[in-house]
Amino acid sequence: MICIGSELLSGKPNTHIDYFTRRLRTIGLPVSRCTTVSDSLPSLTEAFASALQRADVIISAGGLGPTFDDLTREAVCAATDRGQHFEKKLFDGIRAKFRYARVPMPEENRRQAFVINGADVLDNPHGSAPGQHLKLGGRSVYLMPGPFSEMSPMFESFVLPALRKQHGGKLSHETLSLHFAGLSESAVDEALQPVIKKASAALDFTILGGHGLTHFYATATAPSRAAARRLVAGVRRAMPNSLRSHLYSEGDPTLEAAVGSALRLEGRTLAVAESCTGGLLAARITDIAGSSDYFLGGMVAYSNDLKTFVLGVSPDTLKKHGAVSAPTALEMAEGARRRFRSDYALSVTGIAGPGGGTPKKPVGLVYIGLAGPDGESKVLEIMAHGDRHRIRSQSANAALDLLRKTLQK
């Protein structure tokens, strides 16, 4: 995999790598190397030339634009010792796109109508840069544009199906993805090691963790779809009982989607009251399309005054126990439930830092409150670790997980 662009080496996050590797895993194609390289012709040429010595399939993103520093076509020509030619029909198509958008076509875009000798053109419905596919004996080179919005439709409609046919053809693949909350990555790892150690060589495992969530992937490669399915089903069955109550999803890795599905299933509504997460919990919940079906609203109450006069937390509770305390968390949840007239309400109050910590209430101490129908309410104390960003993220995850476990019962 070759990601092209000086901006990727100047601090711009490269999200292509994660995307490619995740999608290619679904067809059982392992990525052995990703090279991120700047827009320089010698560097680019060397990157393609050395990749051609190592890999069966090379996928690139970037450097197909119209400007002088878009050099992917030239680099592939140099690395494979071939020329390129102008395709009138392609040029007419590019010109038509500009005409449709009522934008004059800059002369520079003519460069995008050049095709590497022997390559097929990959249509780009979302931009002016066409992709190219070059076959070299048994090897394939796919050149795609850099912007994600242009690259990913091309990848999904041309490249992935072609690779599935070419490389996933003889063998079938099936991925089991299990997502756990409330356990550290190493605890999940330890619990699953016996399963991993006993597993067939046709299974490949990955464990990723962070902010209180752990994601486990098992990919089976087998002669038939059924055989691959049996292999992952075996892994699923072998999952230790100790992990079952922590499993929040098989599929979608987000906890907010799991909680949303559970609320929808039960026909229940939710509201939140936040202090240290400052809106992050509500933002996570509403990141799910259709969340308005079960999420009524939220309240961010930073000051004690607001906790009292909007959420109805008793001034005595605040005075006696402080804003960061179990009784305050409980009253915030109960207040939000009343205020928003929801079935459930979650609250978060804690010390996200870097300031505000004391020996008795250090940075990372967070209380999660939950109020539910029939007067059931509970509170959870956690000690989150890391910087402000991580503490807030772990707190939001802990709150969502508390509700998930409650709904599961």
Query: Where in 142-201 is the site for a second copy (CB under 8 A)?
Result: 149
Residue with Cβ nearer a second copy (245 or 358): 358
Helix (H) or strand (E) holding 136: strand 131-136
297 scored as a contact of a second copy (CB under 8 A): yes
Q: Which of 8, 58, 191, 259 binds a second copy (CB under 8 A)?
A: 8
Residue 248 binds a second copy, judged by CB under 8 A: no
CA atoms within 13 A on the CB side of 295: 24
Q: Which of 314, 342, 309 is nearest to 328 (CA)?
A: 314
**DSSP assigned state of 104:** P
Cβ-based nearer residue to a second copy, 87 or 185: 185
Which among 318, 332, 341 has a CA at the least distance from the CA of 367? 332
With beta carbons less than 8 A apart as the criterion, state whether 25 and 175 touch: yes
Each residue 27-56 as x (binds a second copy by CB under 8 A) or -, in order, gives ---xxxxxxxxx-x--x--xx--x---x--
**Beta strands 139-144 and 131-136, pairing class:** antiparallel
State yes or no: residue 26 binds a second copy (CB under 8 A).
no
**54 Cβ contact list (under 8 Å, min separation 6):** 32, 33
Token pair for 72: 């992917």
264 near a second copy (CB under 8 A):
no
Whole-number Å distance between alpha carbons of 113 and 93: 9
Closest contact distance (angstroms) between CB of 385 and a second copy is: 9
281 binds a second copy (CB under 8 A): yes
Among 167, 339, 361, 378, binds a second copy (CB under 8 A): 339
* Closest distance of CB 269 from a second copy, Å: 10
286 is a site residue for a second copy (CB under 8 A): yes
User: Of 11, 138, 267, 375, which lies in the binding site for a second copy, with binding defined by CB under 8 A?
Assistant: 11
Q: Exposure of 308 by Cβ count < 10 A (0-12 exposed, 13-18 middle, 19+ buried)?
A: middle
From 94-102, 165-173, 203-211, 242-250, span contacting a second copy (CB under 8 A): 203-211
Residue 339: which residues within 8 A CB-CB, separation 6 or more? 271, 299, 310, 311, 312
**Whole-angstrom Cα distance, residue 251 to residue 236?**
13
- 217 near a second copy (CB under 8 A): yes
CB closer to a second copy out of 18 and 250? 18
- CB nearer a second copy, residue 29 or residue 183: 29
* Count of residues of this chain found to bind a second copy when the rule CB under 8 A is applied: 73
- Judged by CB under 8 A, the residue of 116, 134, 144, 280 near a second copy is 280
Q: What's the min distance (Å) between Cβ of 203 and a second copy?
A: 14
Q: Which stretch binds a second copy (CB under 8 A): 151-159, 160-168, 226-234, 384-392?
A: 384-392
Binding to a second copy in span 63-92, by CB under 8 A: none
Q: How many CB atoms lie within 10 A of CB 72?
A: 27
> Cβ neighbours of residue 374 under 8 Å, at least 6 residues apart?
none
Residues 340-369 that bind a second copy (CB under 8 A): 340, 352-355
